[in-house]
Chain A
């Protein structure tokens, strides 16, 4: 597609439920990133995929968070046993080169609300 697509755009879930967030990067972009942004806050790095290399998971806040990228394209971020502090906008980005020296292209995000 022309841009990075994320779904759903909004998700309301009950505390303790699992959620899956999806990201469709730009075709041909080898690098894919997940960030989250809490209200009025900056972007917090979560995880980074580059080609077939092992992902950099150093930003995941707990073992309730996991992500995978199938076939070097679509990525899914899974949050298990959601907590209220997980409420945030989850942003996915892709880039042509590792390290983003050509800039990242972001999706519009998934707004997650845990009630």
Chain B
């Protein structure tokens, strides 16, 4: 079956360090992958999209990589700040014919001052 996996354990890091979150998927080849941020009581907010022919994408302090051989995306936040504390979700279109994103369960990031 097709799955998206994100580390369910919270990631705790010190302010100023780089946070790295992982998204693994199985048994399909998505054309692109997206990352979202979700704060408590709010809907997810779109951050970045990376396509299958792109190895890396950057936006300010964010960097996303996409390895279609490993079936993995890494999401990096450099020079992390307490304000980066949130849950981060990855999302893909699965090849089931459904034209709506399937979301991972998310990884909670906590940046300590």
Partner-B contacts on A (CB < 8 A): 4, 31, 33, 35, 41-43, 45, 48, 50, 56, 58-59, 91, 93, 98-109
Cβ contact of A103, chosen from B46, B89, B104, cutoff 8 A: B46
A50–B46 alpha-carbon span in the complex (Å): 20
**Is the C-beta of B61 less than 8 angstroms from some C-beta in chain A?**
no
Closest to B49 in A: A103
Knowing A56-B98, A98-B99, the reply to whether A105 touches B104 (Cβ < 8 A) is no
Task: Collect the chain B residues with CB atoms within 8 Å of residue A59's CB.
Answer: 98, 100
Pick the most buried of A31, A50, A93, A103: most chain B CB atoms within 10 A of its CB.
A103
Contacts of B105 in A (CB 8 A): 41-42
- Is B41 close to A, CB under 8 A? yes
A33 touches B100 (CB 8 A): yes
Contact of A91 among B43, B98, B104 (CB under 8 A): B43
The answer to whether B99 touches A42, judged by C-beta atoms less than 8 angstroms apart, is no
Chain B interface main SS type: loop
Q: Which residues of B are interface residues toward A (Cβ below 8 A)? A: 32, 34, 36, 41-46, 49, 89, 93, 98-106
Q: What is the predominant secondary structure among interface residues of chain A facing chain B?
A: mixed
Query: B44 contacts A43, CB within 8 Å?
Result: yes
In the assembled complex, the Cα of A103 lies from the Cα of B92 at a distance in Å of 11
Complex-state Cα separation, A58 to B94, whole angstroms: 14
Q: Complex: how many Å from CA A36 to CA B103?
A: 11
* A98 CA / B49 CA spacing, docked (Å): 15
Is the beta-carbon distance between A105 and B99 smaller than 8 angstroms? no
- Contact at B34–A103, with CB atoms within 8 Å? yes
Contact status A48-B103, CB under 8 Å:
no
The distance from the CB of A68 to the nearest CB of chain B, in whole angstroms, is 17
Q: Is the CB of B99 within 8 A of A99?
A: yes
CB-CB nearest in chain B for A6? B43
Beta-carbon nearest neighbor of B100 in chain A: A48
Q: Can you list 24 A-B pairs with a CB-CB distance of less than 8 A?
A: A31-B99, A33-B100, A33-B101, A35-B103, A42-B89, A42-B104, A42-B105, A43-B44, A45-B100, A56-B100, A59-B98, A91-B44, A93-B43, A98-B99, A99-B93, A99-B100, A100-B34, A100-B101, A101-B32, A103-B46, A104-B44, A106-B44, A108-B42, A108-B43
